[in-house]
Amino acid sequence: MSAGTPLVEVRGAGVRIGDATLLDGVDVDVRTGEILVVVGPNGAGKSTLLAVLSGDRVPDAGTVAWEGEPLASLRPRELARRRAVLLQENHVSFPFRVVDVVRMGRAPWEGTSSADADDAVVAAALAAADVAHLADRRYPTLSGGEKARASLARVLAQEPRLLLLDEPTAALDVKHQTQVLALARRHADAGGAAVVVLHDLPLAAAWADRVVVVARGGIAADGAPADVLTSDLLSTVYDHPVDVLTHPVTGALLVLPRHGTTVQEVAAP
């Protein structure tokens, strides 16, 4: 597929739980060749939007389509071959080895010709996520960051066209944060797509092709980082002063929350 082709299209999506509205009238496109980063404050609806994009949550209103086909019409195994989801928390109840956890990502391909490549795909995923040296370790014995990387390797082993990553860098050090987002970049450049939920605004500015800002269950902005990540918008959405500057050497966006100051104090005469 050519870069920029819509892969998933969400129109008018609404999600309610009891009296609470989690999403309301949301329109979002996920396009091939792009890293789409979703940002917003706690409780804004980011994870709910990811669940709608993945097909794990059918919206109460609106539509979700994969290349024009209703996402809800796809059988679970076919859906699992098209998209893979990395959640914020990944629990494994039994002491499986890391390599066995990663191999679980190959389950959607069982019985197909692609299963012949299982060993090679698992090995490549372990290496890409920098956990090959942990292959024989028991998953529960890993640190938080190691578990996050092992779970990422499982997602990569699934060989999806669409990666859906919910806070994939939260437990990682600087080196592995960069590695994870570089993986998303390579996946998009190869013709896939990646949707990444981030709280880290500097990372969003550095890696996103397009940024969606979610606020109070709606889309506050959708566009290129330079157009969306503005001081006025971010300060309003987060109810906290945020400065957006230009790096004097690289020209990159620098998004810096202002410490020790509130929006009200900034607005005061």
User: Which tens digit of pLDDT belongs to each residue from 189-244?
Assistant: 999 999 999 999 999 999 999 999 999 999 999 999 999 999 999 999 999 999 99
Query: pTM for this structure?
Result: 0.92
171 or 121, higher pLDDT? 121
Q: Which domains does the chain have, with CATH numbers?
A: 6-229 (3.40.50.300), 230-269 (no CATH)
* pLDDT above 70 for 264: no
* pLDDT above 80 for 263: no
Q: In the predicted model, what is the mean pLDDT of the chain?
A: 93
For 34-50, b/e burial (b = at least 16 CB within 10 A) is bbbbbbbbeebbbbbbb
Element (H, E) at 255: strand 253-257
Report d(CA 99, CA 166) in Å as an integer.
22
Strands (DSSP E) contained in 101-168 are 162-166
